[in-house]
Amino acid sequence: MPCKDMYGQYSAQAEMDAGLTKLLKGKYEEDLTAATQKLSSLKQETRHIFDIEKENKKTICTNKINELTAKIAQLDENLASLDEQIQRFKEGHKPSRQSSPSEIEEECTHNI
């Protein structure tokens, strides 16, 4: 009868091992599920942070573009104003007639 007794011990041990394995498996599955949920949550949070940063960068770039556009418009106005001043200066200081090279030379020698 020792065989039956040993079979009973092995059977009981196997059942205990199976129960322990089942218990550990359940615990690992719970841990895996919790870790998966945490990972999913972190991914959503990260995506949200990147979206916010992306929007912030977009806003910063848009603001810089607007500033540069305003600066370009101001420079265009300044350039147009300078062109008008140059034109008025030219009109106010037109030579009465073109001097010939000999007249210019004579005037230069006369001034010396």
The yes-or-no verdict on residue 2 having pLDDT over 60 is: no
Cα–Cα distance measured from residue 103 to residue 95, given in angstroms and rounded to the nearest whole number: 14
Give me the residue label for tokens 């200066």.
89
State how far the Cα of 41 lies from the Cα of 37, in Å rounded to an integer.
6
Give 24-46 pLDDT, tens digit per residue. Answer: 899 999 999 999 999 999 999 99
Pick the more confident residue, 74 or 17: 74
- Residue 71 CA: distances (Å) to CA of 68, 74, 75: 5, 5, 6
Give me 13's structure tokens.
């041990």
* Unique residue bearing structure tokens 């005037």: 107
Q: What is the pLDDT of residue 1?
A: 43
Share of the chain above pLDDT 90, in %: 54
Measure the CA–CA gap between 18 and 23, rounded to whole angstroms: 8
pTM of the model: 0.49
Cα–Cα distance, 79 to 73 (Å, whole number): 10
Average pLDDT for 11-20? 83
The answer, yes or no, to whether residue 56 has pLDDT greater than 90, is: yes
C-alpha distances out from residue 66 to 18, 63, 70, 93, Å: 70, 5, 6, 40
Given a contact cutoff of 8 angstroms between Cβ atoms, the answer to whether 99 and 107 are in contact is: yes
Which region among 12-16, 21-25, 43-47, 56-60 has the lowest average model confidence (pLDDT)?
12-16
